[in-house]
Amino acid sequence: MTAHHIFLVEDDAPLRTSLTRLLEVSGYSVTGFGSAEAMLTALASSGLVMHPDCIVLDVNLPGLNGVDAQQQLRYIQVTCPVIFVSAELNAHHVNTAWRDGAAEFIFKPFQPQDLLNAIRGALEKKAIDSSLSLSDANTHLSDPIAAKQAKLIQGLTPRQQQVLLWLVDGHSNTQIAEKMDISARTVKMHREGLMQRLEIKHITELARIYQQCKHLLKS
């Protein structure tokens, strides 16, 4: 069986070398790039023949950042899973990445197994998705956890939905409080309630669930 081909885009050369070795030892073939521009140039010069099965893409790259590079990939119809890695939480980057179909978002520093799990999960999901019709959004929520979260999203009160929309748009508790004319403490309560209700621990997971289930929210 041919090894899955991974594009690794990371400007930190020692880290890129370390991760390349990790992936190769784990059975993947790897092509490394120090910038998003280098990756896009390689794709263009190969006439898209050099097609990766998955891309591991740093967000904070010199020149074109990872999120903008993802949009370029979509433009040239490279549709393989993209796994983002980042040293910082930027709500705009996270939400844009999820909106544009990111497979996973990992924050540095991370354990090697975290990356391997993300790649394996993305490749497995890609294989499953290729055998499913993508015309039915609910069919896409095929695992029990996602289906449960979709049901919980549908049960949110209008106030909870409003807080959710502001959160995934990158607003702070204080900003949301001002917009909704409520106290920041009340917003914090709603935020904690949402995350507890959806059984998640990180705001990036909230953004992912929203992108999957936003068609279920009341307009």
Residues constituting the chain: 219
Task: Report domain extents, the chain.
Answer: 5-129, 137-212
Strand, helix or coil for residue 12 = coil
Strand, helix or coil for residue 150 = helix
Rg (CA), the chain: 19
pLDDT at 134: 39
Summarised one tens digit per residue, pLDDT across range 7-48 is: 999 999 999 999 999 999 999 999 999 999 999 999 888 765
Greatest mean pLDDT among 48-57, 96-105, 106-115, 170-179 lies in 106-115
pLDDT at 18: 97
Between 100 and 49, whose confidence is greater? Answer: 100
Give the C-alpha separation, 99 to 84, whole Å: 13
Q: Can you say whether residue 77 is alpha, beta or left, with left for phi > 0 and alpha for psi between -120 and 50 degrees?
A: left
pLDDT at 136: 47
Q: Does residue 54 carry a pLDDT above 70?
A: yes
Kindly tell me the sign of the dihedral angle through the C-alpha atoms of 202, 108, 75, 51. Answer: negative
CB 36 within 8 A of CB 75: no
Q: What angle do CA 43, 44, 49 make, to 5 degrees?
A: 55
Query: What is the token pair recorded at 184?
Result: 């920041």
Lowest mean pLDDT among 20-29, 119-128, 136-145, 193-202: 136-145
pLDDT band at 129 (very low <50, low <70, confident <90, very high): low
What percent of the chain stands above pLDDT 90?
34
Summarised one tens digit per residue, pLDDT across range 181-199 is: 778 887 887 787 777 777 7
Query: Considering the entire predicted model, what is its pTM?
Result: 0.67
Between 167 and 145, whose confidence is greater? Answer: 167
Q: Supply the angle between the helices 203-213 and 158-168 in degrees, to the nearest 10.
A: 110
Chain centroid, CA 5 distance in Å: 19
pLDDT at 91: 75
Average pLDDT, the chain: 82
Chain centroid, CA 52 distance in Å: 17
- Domain made up of 5-129: CATH architecture: 3-Layer(aba) Sandwich (3.40)
- Say which CATH topology domain 137-212 has: Arc Repressor Mutant, subunit A (1.10.10)
